[in-house]
């Protein structure tokens, strides 16, 4: 089974392809191909719409007696998805497109008609210019005038755009300058307020140091007072030993006696130490 997956088959040395008989096929044989609808169409039998790109199993054949500069034209047979009516269309090498032939009608496509009309007008114009030289001169004059008008309009549009861009830049610069001025004013105002606050603080501290009354929120003046001092008595009875200490000063812890320390540590005292105890 593995040999069916390879691309190269084995050919014996004595292989002669001319000895292989050719199978007989009809002159205009059909092939079954898988394709998509090349354009949107409507079935003329039941009115069903078939959109472009729908897949079909189609039969393909070569059109006899029709070629375009040696290019073969092919015909395809499909069936309607609703009523199974046969629909045929063929290739159109001239317009690089497909042409509905039987069983369906191509949906209206306005851009194709516009292209066809433009092509017809161009051919008619060329034919008229070949037969009438004055008409050709008139057409060239009209074309040159139209080109000049187009160039003038383009120049006006460019000038207008440049003017609008310049105006936008000037306006933006004006807005930026105004914003900078506002920021400068705000900064100066902030500096003045800070200076006033510092001046007020200095006045308050100067009054507090001089002992003058300080204005409070209740409206009653209050004298600046020194922080209270606490006096404590030292171990000696001399009055010179009395010193002032801040209110938050803490007293030193009392010393423990040796006996209490010995009892806590579990040590026995001997001699004078025991007698003193």
Tally of CA atoms within 13 A in the half-sphere of 186 that contains its CB? 6
**How far is the C-alpha of 85 from the C-alpha of 46, rounded, in Å?**
9
Quick one: angle between helices 133-210 and 110-131, nearest 10? 130
**How far is the C-alpha of 109 from the C-alpha of 208, rounded, in Å?**
98
| 43 annotated ligand binder | yes
Give the number of other Cβ atoms within 10 Å of residue 129's Cβ: 16
Q: Cα-atom radius of gyration of the chain, to the nearest Å?
A: 57
Give the full edge-to-edge strand order of the sheet including 86-92: 31-36, 55-68, 71-79, 86-92, 97-102
| 46 annotated ligand binder | yes
Tally of CA atoms within 13 A in the half-sphere of 271 that contains its CB? 1
| 92 annotated ligand binder | no
Q: Token pair 């042409």 is at which residue?
A: 99
| 103 annotated ligand binder | no
Residue list for the binding site for Zn(2+)? 43, 46, 80, 83
* Residue list, annotated binding site: 43, 46, 80, 83
């Amino acid at each position: 089974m593995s040999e069916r997956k390879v691309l190269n088959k084995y050919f014996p040395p004595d292989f002669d392809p001319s000895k292989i008989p050719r199978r007989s096929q009809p002159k205009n044989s059909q092939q079954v191909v898988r394709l998509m609808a090349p354009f949107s169409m409507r079935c003329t039998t039941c009115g069903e719409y078939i959109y472009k790109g729908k897949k079909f199993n189609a039969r393909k054949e070569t059109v006899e007696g029709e070629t375009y500069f040696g290019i073969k034209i092919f015909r395809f047979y499909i069936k309607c998805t609703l009523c199974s009516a046969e629909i045929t269309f063929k290739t159109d090498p001239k317009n690089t497109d497909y042409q509905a032939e039987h069983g369906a009608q191509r949906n209206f496509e306005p851009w194709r008609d516009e292209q066809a009309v433009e092509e017809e007008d161009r051919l008619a114009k060329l034919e008229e210019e070949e037969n009438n030289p004055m008409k050709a001169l008139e057409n060239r004059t009209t074309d040159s005038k139209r080109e000049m008008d187009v160039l003038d309009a383009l120049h006006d549009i460019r000038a207008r755009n440049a003017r609008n861009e310049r105006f936008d830049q000037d306006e933006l610069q004006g807005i930026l300058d105004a914003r900078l001025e506002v920021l400068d004013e705000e900064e100066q105002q902030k500096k003045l307020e800070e200076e006033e606050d510092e001046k007020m603080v200095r006045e308050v501290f100067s009054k507090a140091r001089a002992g003058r009354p300080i204005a409070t929120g209740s409206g009653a003046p209050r004298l600046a007072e020194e922080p209270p001092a606490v006096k404590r008595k030292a171990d000696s009875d001399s009055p010179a030993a009395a010193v002032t200490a801040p209110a938050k000063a803490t007293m030193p812890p009392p010393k423990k006696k040796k006996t209490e320390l010995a009892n806590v540590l579990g040590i026995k005292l001997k001699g004078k130490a025991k007698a003193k105890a």
